[in-house]
Amino acid sequence: MLQLNQSSKSNVLPFKDVTDSKKESYDWFLAIPFLVMQFVPFLAFFTGISAAALVLCGILYVVRMFAITLGYHRYFAHRSYKMNRVVQFLVALIGVTSAQKGPLWWASHHRLHHKYADTDLDIHSPKRGFFWSHIGWIISKRFKQTDYSLIKDFSKFKELVFLNRFQIVFPVLLGILCFLLMGLRGLVVGFGLSTVLLWHGTFAINSIAHKFGRRRYATKDTSKNSFILAVITMGEGWHNNHHNYPYSAKLGESFCEIDFGYYMLLIAKKIGLVKDIRLPLVGAFKARRINLTASTKELTINN
């Protein structure tokens, strides 16, 4: 049943014409519901907003953002710490309800972003404009499939391939659950609003974090650090730090660089859910620092 025949050979990259927008065609079967979903939160003008629905919205945003940053990004894309197969599945399950496609699709494409960042082969290159880097590449036919050859380390787990292939089922089930819990307000505010906010929070790292912000490291790409993006994405806003040492589970470098994802990871480590957290040796990157006034003290590997 769960064959990997969608992509037994690499069908995603390299594309020599990735910056050529004239050749792009969009997957309207995906794009239309995606675009319609943007307007669902406005139905709150008709359904009204309750405190309970707002609390549900907040919980679903925070929990699912943690699953995206710690699960989809820091774990599946970068393997920056370890967890057992059951916890790995549960994190992927929460992540897949955020309607950002499956964990293997997300992580494999993100690996390509790091490999080709800001070159003509970057899948969401800022060179093609804000719309492309924020949304366009996701609804493009070109990047619809999962290239399992790019993520063999996780595609060996059948339960992850299952989540990846049937990814659309899980956000739909969550939406139904919210409706059963709180009626239309639960569906529109609890599920709809939190999902749309999650999308744009995550997508902003691909678009805004390669355009606006400060650079600490002279990386070859245009990645930037942003406090505001770090707060709304649980730490992902320290994108320039991340491009400098992508294997690290810790994205915020100094005390002021808030990284809720990393703090959550420390708690998870305390209760035995994760281990072998990888950290950067900050001093080792001294030569790449643009501003050398910050501390260059070494961090220890927190195993």
CB of 154 or CB of 191, closer to Zn ion: 154
Q: What are the residues whose beta carbons fall under 8 Å from the beta carbon of 9, sequence distance 6 or more?
A: 149
Distance in Å, CB of 240 to Zn ion, minimum: 9
Whole-number Å distance between alpha carbons of 130 and 211: 9
Site string for Zn ion, 171-210 (x = CB under 5 A): ----------------------------------------
DSSP assignments along 64-113, one per residue: HHHIIIIIIIIIIIT--SEE-HHHHHHHHHHHHTTSS--HHHHHHHHHHH
Query: Which one of the spans 99-107, 220-228, 266-274, 288-296 is the region binding Zn ion (CB under 5 A)?
Result: 220-228
Q: Shortest Cβ distance from residue 78 to Zn ion (Å)? A: 6
CB of 73 to Zn ion, least distance (A): 6
Phi, psi of 158, rounded to the nearest 5 degrees? -60, -35
Per the rule left: phi > 0, alpha: psi between -120 and 50, beta: everything else, 176 is alpha
Please state the closest distance from residue 230 (CB atom) to Zn ion, in A: 14
Residue 182: both structure tokens together: 């709180």
For residues 242 and 224, what is the distance between their CA atoms, to the nearest angstrom? 9
Residue (198 or 236) nearer to Zn ion, CB: 236
Binding mask 222-251 for Zn ion (x = CB under 5 A): -x----------------------------
Which residues, other chains included, contact 124 with Cβ-Cβ below 8 Å and sequence gap of 6+?
A: 113, 132, 133, 134, 136, 137, 206, 207
Nearer Cβ to Zn ion (133/140): 133
Q: How far is CA 196 from the centre of its chain?
A: 14
**Dist CA 141 CA 76 (whole Å):** 23
Nearer to Zn ion, 22 or 220 (CB): 220
Give the nearest distance from C-beta 41 to Zn ion in angstroms.
Answer: 27
Residue with Cβ nearer Zn ion (88 or 194): 88
* Nearest to Zn ion of 107, 189 (CB atom): 107
Shortest distance, position 239 Cβ to Zn ion, whole Å: 6
In the complex with Zn ion, which residue's Cβ is closer, 72 or 170?
A: 72
In whole angstroms, how close is the CB of 243 to Zn ion at the nearest point?
Answer: 6
* Burial of 51 from C-beta contacts in 10 A (0-12 / 13-18 / 19+): exposed
Which stretch in 7-15, 169-177, 195-203, 215-223 sits in contact with Zn ion by CB under 5 A?
A: 215-223
Residue ranges binding Zn ion (CB under 5 A): 223
